[in-house]
A and B are shown apart, each in its own frame.
Chain A
Amino acid sequence: MRDSTLKLSVGYAFLVAISALFLIPLVWMVRSALMDLSQIFVMPPIWIPHPFKWDNFTRALTTLPFDKFFVNTAVIVVLGVVGTVVSSTIAAFGFSRIQWKGRNLVFGILLSSMMLPGAVTLIPTFLGWKSLGFYDTYVPLVLPAYFGGGIFNVFLLRQFYMTIPRDFDEAAVVDGAGFFQIYYRIILPLSRSAVIVVSLFTFLGAWNDFFGPLIYLKSSEKFTLALGLQMFQGSYTSQWDLLMAASAAVVLPCVVVFLIGQKYFLEGITLTGLKG
């Protein structure tokens, strides 16, 4: 990409402006996490806490067993990401690189599951898991990842697989490769950036999901970080200072994972760039 200097600097200015806008929520959260409760909602907003209340973090993180929540969340997230990446990349291959009768119909039916509001399938789904004896376990939160990994991810990967030129497959077929080799040796490496996006989204989705754990868990020692954050809401008042401190601490790993994950996009460019 050879962009002119003028274009670059105009673009750069835009980027800085937009980034400033998109930073507001994080800044607000972090400064609230360091504030006295009485300062958080003052109008016009105070942006710099006075004094800095660092002990909000220790208070927030010791009020609830966040260490336990962290371990629970890590288990669910790791199992979920592994399952999703394996099963959604395989399924997407079947929906894009192999021509078979009824392919689009099956894909359409799977996609339709996103169109029915979850409110009305919640109870039947819950009853299904319960009748299998999986209430108050992580199974309902993790197992579906191994069966397709969500149609959103399959659809996303399918779109990327379909952009890879056929020549690659045909060359591989000449070399005697089967479908699985094509999937593993050619398509998977070439769609690396999409696979990273899927892993990132799955990680962040599972990390921040409180509704699934709320419905399928009952013992608080099995709770997750996201569900733990919900606990700061009181019946009449909410402890915003603690909520924001705990949120900031919980969100931090997401920021790190995202920073690392998106770096691989850049590598993705050179990779496909060279081969394409």
Chain B
Amino acid sequence: MKRSSKAFAFILIFLLTAAIALPACSSKSENPASSDGAGASSPEASQTSGSDELASNDPVTLRLTLWGSPGEVQTYQKAIDRFHQKYPNITVKLEHIPTDYDTKLTTMVAGNQEPDVAMMESGSIAFPLAEEGKFLNLQQFVDSDSELSADRLIPNISYYSEPGNLIGIAPGPETFSLYYNVDMFKDAGVTPPSAKAAEAWTWDQFVEAAKKLTIDENGKNASDPDFNPKKIKQFGVNGANGWWGPWSNFIFSNGGDFLSADGKTFGLNQPEAVEALQKVADLVNVHHVAPSPVQSKNVPGTNVALQTKKVAMVIDGQWANFDLSNTNVNYDVAPLPVMKTPITTVVCGMFSVFKSTKHPQEAWGLVKALLDPEGTLELNQKGLWMPALKSWYEDPSLIEKWTANSKGRTPGYQDAVIDMMLGYSHQTPTGYVKNFNKIMDIVNPALDKVWLGQQTAQQAMDAIAEKAQAQVKGRRDVK
């Protein structure tokens, strides 16, 4: 009795496993192996031509997944509605994935439920998907499209998994800048930095100013010999250490990089990068003008930090304008201090098209509609996004469209944000460093010690260089 019931259970379990696992396997093999995703031109995609062909009578349904707050999603919905008005035969179903986007998308892909168009992030599963040939190469569309050609896009918003394979284009790029409280500069008698890249602060000028803006509980500033670094009431600057986004600007500005130019060597232990990291760490541990990573956890968001005069300057992304403009604070913006050359890292999501789509032409049309600043104008006006098209940075009437009469456009915005984006941008490392996450899994814990002043940047980076080197898999922009 006992044995037979056991055997029965085993058979049942086996059958059920098979029933569940088999469809997974077979559906996998339905997709013809297309691991050579790079540059492969699928038959559908080669029929590319002008977008007017979209206007046909065959009803088409496209699925689009994205993340975002209710306000952002509403704006997308409006852009989609405009698209639908233009092409009434195309219906777009927006699937909002509010959290755990990667997990959800991964299960969707596993179940062959992936959307036609998806918002993706370069730092997560976009490249793993691209490397398995899951995305359409958008290059052919860009090359032959009459409306949207490559030179109409601003630099560093196109993501290539390798040269020639364009996997996604960013809708709302962002730059890094120095946001500061104008009143606090006045109070300290410090001249605010110029908004022009050519006249931007050098690192030393920046440190000098930060010292005067850092004040202890006795009212003494950090350049005073009696200054008490243990009891700081107001910090000069915040936001440089911690996440790689902000400090990557200084690596690039100093001529360093995450990888060597040929993509073969780990770069953060090289002199330029180490110098930049050390200078950023010195803000905390030598000059006492910035909160340590521990203390930063206590500093509220940029808008509140500046408003409550906890901090005089914050290194933050363009998106900070959204909150700042809704906060009662007299602020302005300047380019980041320059180590050797003025530079700003561009970070942004992207829209990608899954290769499994049955309607590549229409999906490309949707991507274009989402990239069109006209369609998502509200997000641009709110200070949450910046436009993807060059003309919106150059043509004064277009600039006016997204900056005039909208909040968060301080005197410095044109020079420190708009012009920096157009003329001095650097691609995000997630866009070209292969295996970026695994490398950073090694780098970040080591940098914790640098920010805390327990090790110098040179010591910390040398200590992990070998381990990091083992994870180096090359650059995406080098063949």
A interface list, Cβ under 8 A from B:
37-38, 41-43, 63-64, 101-102, 122-124, 126-128, 130-131, 135, 210-211, 214-215, 218-220, 227, 230-239
Docked CA distance A63–B194 (Å): 40
Of B1, B69, B308, which is in contact with the most chain A CB atoms at under 10 Å from its CB? Answer: B69
9 contacts between A and B (CB under 8 A): A123-B107, A126-B110, A128-B20, A130-B111, A131-B19, A135-B111, A231-B98, A234-B71, A237-B69
Q: B349 contacts the other chain (Cβ, under 8 Å)?
A: yes
User: A123 near B106 (CB under 8 angstroms)?
Assistant: yes
Contact of B304 among A41, A127, A220 (CB under 8 A): A41
Contact of A230 among B98, B300, B310 (CB under 8 A): B98
**With A231-B70, A236-B319 in contact, is A215–B98 under 8 Å at CB?**
no
User: A237 near B322 (CB under 8 angstroms)?
Assistant: yes
Contact of B384 among A37, A126, A236 (CB under 8 A): A236
Q: B21 contacts the other chain (Cβ, under 8 Å)?
A: yes
Docked CA distance A271–B5 (Å): 41
User: A235 near B96 (CB under 8 angstroms)?
Assistant: no
Contact of A214 among B23, B72, B100 (CB under 8 A): B100
Of A128, A220, A236, A238, which is in contact with the most chain B CB atoms at under 10 Å from its CB? Answer: A236
Docked CA distance A215–B104 (Å): 6
User: B97 near A237 (CB under 8 angstroms)?
Assistant: no
**With A42-B308, A126-B111 in contact, is A220–B106 under 8 Å at CB?**
no
Chain B residues whose CB sits within 8 angstroms of the CB of A235 once the complex forms: 67-69, 72, 349
User: A236 near B99 (CB under 8 angstroms)?
Assistant: no
Chain A residues whose CB sits within 8 angstroms of the CB of B99 once the complex forms: 210, 214, 230, 233
Contact of B107 among A63, A64, A126 (CB under 8 A): A126
Chain A residues whose CB sits within 8 angstroms of the CB of B301 once the complex forms: 41, 237
B interface list, Cβ under 8 A from A:
1-2, 5, 19-21, 23-24, 67-73, 94-100, 103-104, 106-107, 110-111, 113, 174, 298-301, 303-304, 307-308, 310, 317, 319, 322-323, 326-328, 349, 384
Q: Closest CB-CB distance, A246 to chain B, in whole Å? A: 10
User: B98 near A127 (CB under 8 angstroms)?
Assistant: no
Docked CA distance A123–B28 (Å): 13
The count of A-to-B residue pairs whose CB atoms sit within 8 angstroms is 105
- Please give me the residue from chain A that is nearest to B106 by CB atom: A123
Contact of A41 among B24, B300, B317, B326 (CB under 8 A): B300
User: B110 near A127 (CB under 8 angstroms)?
Assistant: yes
- Please give me the residue from chain A that is nearest to B100 by CB atom: A214
- Give 17 A-B pairs besides A41-B304, A237-B69 with Cβ atoms closer than 8 angstroms: A42-B304, A63-B71, A123-B110, A127-B21, A127-B111, A135-B111, A215-B103, A215-B104, A220-B94, A227-B98, A230-B99, A232-B70, A234-B68, A234-B69, A234-B72, A237-B322, A239-B71
Docked CA distance A211–B1 (Å): 41
| Closest A-B pairs by Cβ, 4 of them | A234-B69, A41-B300, A236-B319, A230-B98
Docked CA distance A233–B20 (Å): 34
- Please give me the residue from chain A that is nearest to B384 by CB atom: A236
User: B21 near A38 (CB under 8 angstroms)?
Assistant: no
User: A214 near B2 (CB under 8 angstroms)?
Assistant: no
User: A124 near B24 (CB under 8 angstroms)?
Assistant: yes
Chain A residues whose CB sits within 8 angstroms of the CB of B322 once the complex forms: 236-237
Docked CA distance A131–B18 (Å): 12
Chain A residues whose CB sits within 8 angstroms of the CB of B97 once the complex forms: 214
User: B304 near A38 (CB under 8 angstroms)?
Assistant: yes
Docked CA distance A122–B21 (Å): 13
- Please give me the residue from chain B that is nearest to A125 by CB atom: B20
Q: Closest CB-CB distance, B75 to chain A, in whole Å? A: 11
**With A42-B308, A127-B24 in contact, is A101–B384 under 8 Å at CB?**
no
Docked CA distance A236–B308 (Å): 21
Chain B residues whose CB sits within 8 angstroms of the CB of A239 once the complex forms: 69-71
Chain A residues whose CB sits within 8 angstroms of the CB of B328 once the complex forms: 38
Docked CA distance A219–B71 (Å): 18
Chain B residues whose CB sits within 8 angstroms of the CB of A64 once the complex forms: 70
Q: Closest CB-CB distance, A265 to chain B, in whole Å? A: 35
User: A214 near B327 (CB under 8 angstroms)?
Assistant: no
Docked CA distance A234–B71 (Å): 8
- Please give me the residue from chain A that is nearest to B71 by CB atom: A234
User: B319 near A237 (CB under 8 angstroms)?
Assistant: yes
- Please give me the residue from chain A that is nearest to B379 by CB atom: A235
User: B2 near A215 (CB under 8 angstroms)?
Assistant: no
- Please give me the residue from chain B that is nearest to A238 by CB atom: B69
Q: Closest CB-CB distance, A244 to chain B, in whole Å? A: 14
User: A131 near B23 (CB under 8 angstroms)?
Assistant: yes
Q: Closest CB-CB distance, B11 to chain A, in whole Å? A: 16
User: B69 near A233 (CB under 8 angstroms)?
Assistant: yes
Contact of B23 among A38, A127, A220, A231 (CB under 8 A): A127
Chain B residues whose CB sits within 8 angstroms of the CB of A238 once the complex forms: 69
- Please give me the residue from chain B that is nearest to A236 by CB atom: B319
Chain B residues whose CB sits within 8 angstroms of the CB of A236 once the complex forms: 174, 317, 319, 322, 384
Docked CA distance A135–B2 (Å): 38
Q: Closest CB-CB distance, A10 to chain B, in whole Å? A: 36
User: B307 near A38 (CB under 8 angstroms)?
Assistant: yes
Chain B residues whose CB sits within 8 angstroms of the CB of A41 once the complex forms: 300-301, 304
Docked CA distance A238–B72 (Å): 11
Chain B residues whose CB sits within 8 angstroms of the CB of A102 once the complex forms: 2, 5
Chain B residues whose CB sits within 8 angstroms of the CB of A232 once the complex forms: 69-70
Contact of B104 among A37, A42, A124, A214 (CB under 8 A): A214
User: B110 near A220 (CB under 8 angstroms)?
Assistant: no
- Please give me the residue from chain A that is nearest to B300 by CB atom: A41
Chain A residues whose CB sits within 8 angstroms of the CB of B21 once the complex forms: 124, 127
Chain B residues whose CB sits within 8 angstroms of the CB of A218 once the complex forms: 95, 113
Q: Closest CB-CB distance, B23 to chain A, in whole Å? A: 4
User: B113 near A237 (CB under 8 angstroms)?
Assistant: no
Contact of B327 among A38, A135, A215 (CB under 8 A): A38
Chain A residues whose CB sits within 8 angstroms of the CB of B304 once the complex forms: 38, 41-42
- Please give me the residue from chain A that is nearest to B1 by CB atom: A101
Of B1, B19, B98, which is in contact with the most chain A CB atoms at under 10 Å from its CB? Answer: B98
Docked CA distance A128–B15 (Å): 13
- Please give me the residue from chain A that is nearest to B109 by CB atom: A123
Docked CA distance A239–B326 (Å): 12
Q: Closest CB-CB distance, B408 to chain A, in whole Å? A: 12
Chain A residues whose CB sits within 8 angstroms of the CB of B19 once the complex forms: 128, 131
User: A131 near B20 (CB under 8 angstroms)?
Assistant: yes
**With A231-B96, A236-B319 in contact, is A63–B23 under 8 Å at CB?**
no
